[in-house]
Amino acid sequence: MSDAINDALQRPLASLRLSVTDRCNLRCRYCMPEDEYVWLPRTSILTFEEMERLTGVFAGLGVHKVRLTGGEPLLRHDLPTLVAMIAHNPRIRDLAMTTNGLLLAKHAAALRAAGLQRLTVSLDTLRPERMLAFAKSARHADVLEGVAAARDTGFANLKLNTVVIRGFNDDELADLIEFGRRHDAEVRFIEYMDVGGATRWSMDQVVSQREMLEVLARRYGPIEPVHPIGGDDRAPAERFRLADGTTFGIIASVTAPFCRTCDRSRITADGTWFLCLYAARGIDLRNPRRLGRGAGVPHPGNVAGSQRPRGGAATRRSGPGCPVPDRFAARRPPPRDAYTGRVTSPPDPLSTLWRGGMHP
């Protein structure tokens, strides 16, 4: 359609991630490693009505996939109501959510009844003691219960996200595949990305896609790539199949950035629109709306060239399809981490304005 959102590279922005809260009840070391953060004041968080209106405007511009994210989205009170409001829009053909699963058992049925179509649950480890050490939570059983509830509620294409970190969970790849198989869920292993802030990322902690495949091939024998048949070739995960038919995905954002096919933009909980997950600057969509000036969404044609120069940004390198190859090499890191939405400096977390965690 002629008014679809395209960026300067003619990449359609068909997929919108909507952060419904900046808060989280976990403290994953790779995302929110500090004990305390200063959260956004409640008054600056978008209301459900504002989110519904914004997604409506974006749907009119060609967005047909919406993913609810956080922080942890289930910390937002009465989330099924928002789900129903968005699901009501016939242009939104795919409505999904990424969650850490802690509160999922309680809400899975209501979410499904409200029209949520797909769920991704983060599950980095099957060992409770590792979760305690890594995410400061003793509630591993709640996550497992959440996964089971999602499956029992009938969510199709249930996915499990595992960030693979050397020395933390890189010995659990096969166990996680087995777990996924038992729960009708497809595991997606994610290369550990540098999201800035206090996360102390280093390249030696990254387990590359290649290494993951080698480890799994030693255990399972030959692994073949699954090519999307009429499927979503914009999905960041490459999918693979074991000899017994079990499939899994790998998101190789560090060693194989997928900028060329990226179709995502995101709105933070306070209504800032980022055209690239790693863009240094976002566009405030909330205040024009609250002030009642028009639809409040600047047409991307006016901004995309300057605001959406790259993707696959976890590498802080450009990827294929990025028009400004050395932008971040020359000028890193940006003051606000647009993937998490977090201001990454100054490092003191209490002086950090948090705009949403990684469940992007």
Binding residues for ligand 5AD, rule: CB under 6 A, are 30-31, 98, 122, 161, 163, 190, 192-193, 195, 358-360
The nearest distance, CB 275 to ligand SF4, in angstroms, is 21
Q: Report yes or no: 55 and 345 within 8 Å, Cβ to Cβ.
A: no
The nearest distance, CB 135 to ligand SF4, in angstroms, is 6
Q: Parallel, antiparallel, or unpaired: how do β-strands 272-274 and 238-241 relate?
A: unpaired
Q: What are phi and psi of 218, to 5 degrees?
A: -65, -35
Q: Report yes or no: 37 and 356 within 8 Å, Cβ to Cβ.
A: no
Name which of 72 and 172 has its Cβ closer to ligand SF4.
Answer: 72
Q: Which stretch binds ligand SF4 (CB under 6 A): 79-87, 143-151, 292-300, 351-359?
A: 351-359
* Contact with ligand SF4 (CB under 6 A) among 72, 142, 172, 337: 72
Does position 73 interact with ligand SF4 (CB under 6 A)? The reply is no
Report helix, strand and coil shares of the chain as percent, to nearest 5: 30, 20, 50
The nearest distance, CB 359 to ligand SF4, in angstroms, is 4
Rounded Cα–Cα distance for residues 177 and 189 (Å): 10
* Contact with ligand SF4 (CB under 6 A) among 62, 70, 257, 319: 70
Name which of 12 and 349 has its Cβ closer to ligand SF4.
Answer: 349
Rounded Cα–Cα distance for residues 3 and 93 (Å): 18
Residue 93-132 contact track with ligand SF4, rule CB under 6 A, x = bound: -------x---------------------x----------
The nearest distance, CB 355 to ligand SF4, in angstroms, is 12
Does position 300 interact with ligand SF4 (CB under 6 A)? The reply is no
Does position 28 interact with ligand SF4 (CB under 6 A)? The reply is yes
Helices (H), the chain: 48-60, 79-87, 104-114, 128-135, 140-153, 173-182, 209-220, 286-290, 300-307, 327-330
* Contact with ligand SF4 (CB under 6 A) among 16, 18, 26, 83: 26
- Which residue from 102, 191, 101 is spatially nearest to 155, judged by alpha carbons? 101
The b-or-e profile of 161-199 (16+ CB within 10 A means b, else e) is bbbbbeebbbebbeebbebbbebebbbbbbbbbbbbbeb
190 binds, among ligand 5AD, ligand SF4, none (CB under 5 to 8 A by kind): ligand 5AD
Q: Summarize as ranges the residues that interact with ligand SF4 (CB under 6 A).
A: 24, 26-28, 31-32, 70-72, 100, 122, 357-359
